[in-house]
């Protein structure tokens, strides 16, 4: 009987060992499953963080590019208009030349060589200022633009097509790189039936 007991005990041990093995396998499978699950969660979280960092980096890069572009435009504007004060001070000199040469009767009485010299100086000044972006505004025949022109006088016109059209420029205006520095003083047609 002791043999039988030993066999039963051995069978019990074998069964217990098999059960332990199965339990260990189940625990290992669950543990592997948990590990895989945890790793998948960590991977998913890492991918989400990577995407957040990528989006943030792309946004910052776009903001940097835009800031650089605004800075370059600002520098260009500064360069274009940095001489505005000096040029504004020279406009009355240009106006004086235009007035002196505009009075044909008095101008023709002056010595011819002197006139040629003054015209040369005036043209030199105009060229230098034009090289820096200064342009004359001479709107004769154009539609009156209250944002650009200064109406000094209204002139009655009989032709309806000349209504609100600049008929005479009393004094030329000037713009620097598209910005009006001095509005032209003009007469504007006013059609009356």
State whether 78 and 94 are in the same domain.
Answer: no
pLDDT score at 34: 80
Q: Which of 21, 54, 82 is at the close of a domain? A: 82
State whether 95 and 168 are in the same domain.
Answer: yes
Range of the domain at 186: 83-191
pLDDT digits (tens, 9 = 90+) for 115-157: 999 999 999 999 999 998 899 999 999 999 999 999 999 998 8
pTM of structure? 0.56
State whether 92 and 164 are in the same domain.
Answer: yes
Once rounded to an integer, what is the mean pLDDT over residues 30-47?
Answer: 83
Once rounded to an integer, what is the mean pLDDT over residues 164-182?
Answer: 91
Q: How far from 121 is each of 25, 93, 114, 183, CA to CA, in Å?
A: 104, 11, 11, 24
Once rounded to an integer, what is the mean pLDDT over residues 94-109?
Answer: 88
State whether 27 and 88 are in the same domain.
Answer: no
In a 13 Å sphere around the CA of 26, the CA atoms on its Cβ side amount to: 6
């Amino acid at each position: 009987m002791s043999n039988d007991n030993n066999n039963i005990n051995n069978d019990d041990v074998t069964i217990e060992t098999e059960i332990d093995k199965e339990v260990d396998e189940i625990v290992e499978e669950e543990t592997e499953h948990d590990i895989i699950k945890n790793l998948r969660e960590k991977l998913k979280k890492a991918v989400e963080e990577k995407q957040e960092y990528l989006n943030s980096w792309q946004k910052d890069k776009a903001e940097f590019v835009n800031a650089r572009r605004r800075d370059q435009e600002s520098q260009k504007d500064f360069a274009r208009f940095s001489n505005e004060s000096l040029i504004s001070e020279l406009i009355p000199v240009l106006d004086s030349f235009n007035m002196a040469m505009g009075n044909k009767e008095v101008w023709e009485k002056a010595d011819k060589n002197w006139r040629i010299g003054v015209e040369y100086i005036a043209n030199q000044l105009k060229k230098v200022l034009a090289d820096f972006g200064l342009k004359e505004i001479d709107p004769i025949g154009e539609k009156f633009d209250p944002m650009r022109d200064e109406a000094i006088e209204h002139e009655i016109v009989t032709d309806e097509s000349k209504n609100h059209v600049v008929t005479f420029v009393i004094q030329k205006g000037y713009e620097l790189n598209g910005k009006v520095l001095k509005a032209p003083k003009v007469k504007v047609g006013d059609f009356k039936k």
